Amino acid sequence: MFAAFVQSSLIRLIPVGMVMLALQRTVFVDIKVSGVTVQVVLALAAAAGASGGSERGAVAGFVLGTMFDLVEGTPLGSTAIAFTVAGAAAGLLALIAADPQWWLKAIFVGLGCAAGEAMLPVVRIFIGEESPWPANMPKVILIVALTGALMSPVLLPLSRWCLKIRGPAWTAPAEQPPI
């Protein structure tokens, strides 16, 4: 079991997630764009989906969301579900292109962030919270998505390293003997 843990991607994802959580709770609490808190941990989950596919993105989102719930004191599982959706959505979107350009991946990350942010109040409704929607929900989703897309050039390589994903190795086709 220990060997499986060491060999899995969690051995990298958890410490990176802790640093990202610390950044979220220190820097990004102050850095607000038009009054909206930038969600860097959510963006990392979406980036994991965009670079590793929906399955890996969902796993990364679940782990990061659970860590978020543990630190923040929010109901355990509520953020995990939303981040799982973010990672899976970004991963599913990434399937439409075999080798997407960087800007296309940034769009996938942004859309994944939007899905995750929109999912947060939905989960809260299911656990009985009254009116969990912020007054400016469309603006919140838009800004979280845009900032997630802007951070993707940094977060995509980081998520690839966390999930131990190697870039595609292109090989030249073997020369065909003349017929």
Tell me if 22 contacts another protein by CB under 8 A: yes
Tell me if 162 contacts another protein by CB under 8 A: no
Tell me if 92 contacts another protein by CB under 8 A: yes
Contacts of 70 (CB under 8 A, 6+ apart): 76
Instruction: Name which of 1 and 96 has its Cβ closer to another protein.
Output: 96
Pull the structure tokens for residue 62: 């679940």
Instruction: Name which of 130 and 175 has its Cβ closer to another protein.
Output: 130
Tell me how many degrees the CA angle 69-71-73 measures, rounded to the nearest 5: 60
Contacts of 12 (CB under 8 A, 6+ apart): 161, 162, 163, 164
Tell me if 11 contacts another protein by CB under 8 A: no
Contacts of 106 (CB under 8 A, 6+ apart): 149, 150, 152, 153
Exactly one of 1, 2, 4, 30 binds another protein (CB under 8 A); which one?
A: 30
Binding site residues, another protein, CB under 8 A: 18-19, 21-31, 35-37, 39, 53-55, 58-59, 61-62, 65-68, 70-81, 84-85, 88, 92, 95-96, 117, 120-121, 123-124, 127, 129-136, 140, 144
